[in-house]
Structure 1
Amino acid sequence: MVEKNILLDGQPVYYRMEGTGRPVVLVHGFSEDGTVWENQIGALKNKFQLIIPDLPGSGRSPINDAGWSMEYFAECLRQILDQENISTVSMIGHSMGGYITLAFAEAWPQRLQSFGLIHSTAYADNEEKKTARRRGIEFIQQNGAAKFIEQSVPNLFSEETKKHQPEMVRKILSRYTNFIGQSLVNYYQAMMVRPDRTHVLKSFPRPVLFILGKHDTAVPYEQGLQQSYMPGLSYIHTLEHSGHMGMWEEPELSNDYIDAFLMHS
């Protein structure tokens, strides 16, 4: 493992690199950091060079004063690739990481050999979703990040996972309750204003991966399925026992799907 950083708006952005082979960027989601991919790293690093950032405000990357947006985070990824002199990659994004991947695909499609959305969507927030995020922001501001994560993270898992693997939920909770509240607020605000990017799916000329959770309440299964038919070439997989955290809930299947996609794209 090699640990590096770039300087962005006066603050370092940390990333690590593991493995050798074709470069693949793994982009974490909201209230996570690069360690969310720990179940995938061992399965993929013998075939691919993995680039795993902590986005600004997450993990080992401190918060900065920039105006955050999905485009801003995509630019952050572009600068990491430029620093590594990497011209083309495959990019896999979980949840908010998928929104960032779509922003990258819109700005620099020629730099993507393929990309994947894991429990993510190209649709913009509807009013119901925006209202829920506003309530989340109010809760964070009143009660702090730790209390927010304690309440919200269990909802990301399926009922089956919570019943049979409660230690997994506790592990995620203990890992991410140290978030700075302002980071979570800034992420929420950035997600609320992101545009619809279904046109990116329709116009992207290379393969796109979709991994859907049958019991996902954050990105409902039917919505995920609807968008998966938009690209010219889609790889579509359903995790029958997962909510929004399939990389943890069904790691072996998730790894098989990601590995097969990357080998054929």
Structure 2
Amino acid sequence: MRKSINNGNITWLDEGKGATIVLIHGFSENATLWDNQTTRLKEHYRIIIPDLPGTALSPLTTPLTIESMAEYVYAILLAENISEAVIIGHSMGGYIALALAEKYPALLKGLGLFHSTAKADSEEKKEGRRKSIRMMEQYGAETFLRQTLPNMFSPATKSKHNKLIDAYVKLGMECQLPALVAYYEAMAVRPDRTGVLKTLRAPVLFMIGKDDNAVPLDNVLPQITLPPVSSIHIFENVGHMGMWEIAEESNVILEQFIAFCQL
């Protein structure tokens, strides 16, 4: 069921019943990213999936920051009278989940970083984002997305599952240029939040693809020992899209982690 508040400016999907799980999508995505996970998890849990500002029916708000998007998600939880949840974010969604954990640590029963990192962008990464913004502004969003999004998958996936790649590119094209630019700008200036991992009492899940070019393995590995309680999964032949590349395996891991967080 799709819901909204604030005259339709904040929208989300609400499926299932039980303990609350929040799934936060990343750059160029929307709530449908998690369709496979929602179908399975809603059998036992209540699934809240925000459409971040600038995606689906949710208008872009300015200025847009990782922190403002965290407040956007928090407003949904307040509207639904949800005081605790397992929060799982993909890529940029993980940055938002970390911002929520920093400001509202009591809210989290568990934190899932699905191909995400608590580190800030390096100077090289920031420059890469600036170049991407210039490319989008010069050649358009479609050209950029068609060139960039296939690289979110592992070489093994790209060689065998063209329809999966096409579906992800199509999903990305639903996001308009101003939102894509705003997301990159927000990610580039986000602070380092590795300290959040050290102090968070809730368990932390790390989902890592060995072929992830966006959040490489060596970026995440130093973080896995920071939380008091960690669950670490490193996947062969998986890039940045484990929820699609190995959907069934990742769903089992999510179910196990979520069940552990309820203890």
Q: Match of 1:242, as an amino acid?
A: V
Secondary structure at the aligned position of 2:17 is classed as coil
User: Does 2:192 align with 1:192?
Assistant: no
* Deviations 1:41-74 (CA, angstroms, capped at 9, x unpaired): 111111110001110001221223x211111011
2:118 aligns to what SS in structure 1? coil
- Structure 1 residue 101 corresponds to structure 2 residue 97: yes
CA distance in 2, matches of 1:239, 1:255: 13
Task: Say if 2:249 is the partner of 1:232.
Answer: no
Q: Specify the SS of the correspondent of 2:47.
A: strand
Task: Give 3-state SS (helix, strand or coil) of 1:216's partner.
Answer: coil
Amino acid at match of 2:111: F
Is 1:25 the equivalent of 2:22? yes
Which of residues 51, 56, 67 in structure 2 aligns to 1:54? Answer: 51
Partner AA of 2:104 in structure 1:
W
- Which residue of the partner structure matches residue 197 of structure 2? 201
Secondary structure, aligned partner of 2:54? coil
CA contact (8 A) 2:56 2:174 kept: no
AA at the equivalent of 1:230: L
User: 1:11: how far off?
Assistant: 5.8
**Percent of pairs identical after alignment?**
46
CA distance in 1, matches of 2:250, 2:216: 18
Aligned residues: 261
CA RMSD of aligned residues (A): 1.0
4+ residue runs over 6 A deviation: none
- Where does structure 1 lack aligned partners over 5 or more consecutive residues? none
Q: Take 1:44 and 1:72, find their aligned partners in 2: how far apart are those partners? A: 27
Instruction: Tell me the TM-score normalized by structure 2.
Output: 0.97
Unaligned segments of structure 2, at least 5 residues: none
- Structure 1 residue 76 displacement after superposition: 0.6
The within-5 A match list for 1:32-47 is 32-47=29-44
TM-score, with structure 1 as normaliser: 0.96
Map of 2:3 onto structure 1 = 4
Cα offset for 1:238?
1.2
1:72 to 2:68 alignment: yes
The answer to whether the 8 A contact 1:88-1:112 is kept is yes
Structure 2 counterpart SS, 1:219: coil
- 2:245 is matched with 249
8 Å CA contact retained: 2:28, 2:171: no
Question: For 1:178 and 1:164, how far apart are their aligned partners in 2?
Answer: 25
The aligned counterpart of 1:131 is 127
Give the Cα separation in 1 of the matches to 2:115 and 2:189: 19
Q: 1:182 aligned to 2:181?
A: no
